[in-house]
A and B are shown apart, each in its own frame.
Chain A
Amino acid sequence: MNRTKPIEGELLELKEEIEVYARDYGLDFYPVIFEMCDYDTVNILAALGGFPNRYPHWRFGMDYDQMYKGYAYGLQKIYEMVVNTNPCYAYLLSVNNIVDQKIVMAHVYGHADFFKNNAWFRSTNKNMMDLMANHGTKIRRYMDLYGQNKVEDFIDKVLSIDNLLDIDALFYNRVVSSKKEENIEHSFSDDSDLSISLKSFMKSKERDELKKEAKTAHKSADIKRVESKNLPTKDIMLFLLENAPLEDWESDVIGILREEAYYYLPQRLTKIMNEGWASYWHSTIMTQKAAKPADIVHFADHHAGVMAMSKQRLNPYKIGIELFRDIEFRWDTGRFGYEYNNCEDMNVRENWDTKAMLGRKKIFEVRQSHNDISFIDEFFTQEFCERMQIFTYKYNPRTGRNEIASRDFQAIKQKLLNQLTNFGSPMIEVISSNDNNRGELLLRHIYMGVGLDLGYATETMRNLYYLWKRPINLLTIDENHEVKYHFDGKELKQVEGRPLPNPQGNLAGNA
Chain B
Amino acid sequence: MGHPIKRDHSRFRKIIKGKIRDNLRKYISKGEMPLPKGDGVYKIPMPSIDTPRFRFGDKEQGGTGQGEGQVGDPLGQGEDQPGEGEAGEGEGKKELEIDLTLEELASILGEELELPNIEPKGKKTIQSETDRYTSIGLVGPDSLKHFKRTYKEALKRQIMTGHYNPENPIIIPVRGDYRYRSAKSHVEFENAAVVIYMMDVSGSMGDEQKEIVRTESFWINLWLKSQYKDIEIRYIIHDATAKEVDEYTFFRTRESGGTLISSAFKLCRDIIKADYNKDEWNIYPFHFSDGDNWSTDDTKQCLEILDNEIIPASNVFCYGQVESRYGSGQFFKDLKAKYGEKSDDVILSQIKNKDAILDSIKDFLGKGK
What is A's interface to B at a CB cutoff of 8 Å?
1, 3, 41, 44, 47-48, 53, 56-62, 64-66, 69, 152, 156, 159-164, 268, 271-272, 309-314, 316, 318, 372, 388-395, 397, 399-407, 412, 415-416, 419-420, 423-426, 428, 445, 449-454, 456-460, 462-463
Contact = CB atoms under 8 A, between A and B. Distances in A.
B98 to A, nearest CB: 8
B58 A313 contact: no
B12 interface: yes
Interface string B60-104: 111111111111111111011011111111110010110000000
B54 A420 contact: no
A313 B67 contact: no
Given A402-B74, A412-B64, 11 more contacts: A60-B5, A272-B87, A272-B88, A310-B66, A313-B84, A393-B63, A393-B85, A415-B62, A449-B60, A450-B60, A452-B57
Interface stretch (B45-53, B125-133, B221-229, B295-303): B45-53
A272 B90 CA distance: 12
Contacts of B74: 399, 401-404
Contacts of A454: 57
A60 B61 CA distance: 29
Given A393-B85, A415-B62, A426-B54, A401 B75 contact: yes
Q: Which 10 A-B pairs have the closest CB atoms?
A: A459-B52, A61-B12, A61-B8, A395-B82, A61-B9, A394-B62, A419-B87, A58-B12, A311-B65, A58-B11
Contacts of A318: 66
Nearest to B2: A1
A415 B97 CA distance: 33
Contact of B61 (A372, A404, A412, A450): A450
A59 B15 CA distance: 10
Given A393-B85, A402-B82, A61 B54 contact: no
B63 A159 contact: no
B337 to A, nearest CB: 47
Contacts of B8: 56-61, 64
Say whether chain A's binding surface is mostly helix, strand, loop, or mixed: mixed
18 contacts: A47-B5, A53-B4, A57-B11, A58-B12, A61-B9, A272-B88, A311-B75, A311-B77, A313-B65, A313-B85, A392-B63, A395-B58, A397-B59, A425-B55, A426-B56, A450-B61, A453-B58, A454-B57
A44 to B, nearest CB: 5
Contact of B96 (A66, A450, A458): A66
A112 to B, nearest CB: 22
A453 B55 contact: yes
Looking at A59, A159, A416, the one whose CB has the most chain B CB atoms below 10 A away is A59
B5 A61 contact: yes
Contact of A451 (B53, B57, B77, B86): B57
Given A156-B51, A456-B53, A310 B65 contact: yes
B338 interface: no
A71 to B, nearest CB: 14
A202 to B, nearest CB: 26
Contact of B54 (A1, A57, A164): A164
B10 interface: yes
B12 A395 contact: no
Contact of B5 (A44, A161, A314, A419): A44
A41 B61 CA distance: 37
A215 B11 CA distance: 34
Contact of B66 (A156, A160, A389, A462): A389
Size bracket, chain B contacts: 35 or more
Given A56-B4, A453-B57, A419 B64 contact: yes
B325 interface: no
Nearest to A69: B97
A129 to B, nearest CB: 15
Interface in B1-39: 1-5, 7-15
A310 B76 CA distance: 11
Nearest to B82: A395
Contacts of B82: 395, 402
A99 to B, nearest CB: 27
Contacts of B66: 309-311, 314, 318, 388-391
A101 to B, nearest CB: 24
A418 B359 CA distance: 50
A163 B50 CA distance: 13
A307 B89 CA distance: 17
Contacts of A401: 74-76, 80
Contacts of B13: 61
Contacts of B4: 53, 56
Contacts of B86: 419, 424
A449 to B, nearest CB: 7
Nearest to A315: B66
Contacts of B55: 425-426, 452-453, 456
Contacts of B9: 61, 64-65
Looking at A57, A60, A419, A459, the one whose CB has the most chain B CB atoms below 10 A away is A419
A77 B111 CA distance: 38
A61 to B, nearest CB: 3
Contacts of A268: 88-89
Contacts of A159: 51
Nearest to B78: A401
A66 B71 contact: no
A400 B80 contact: yes
Contacts of A462: 52
A402 B62 contact: yes
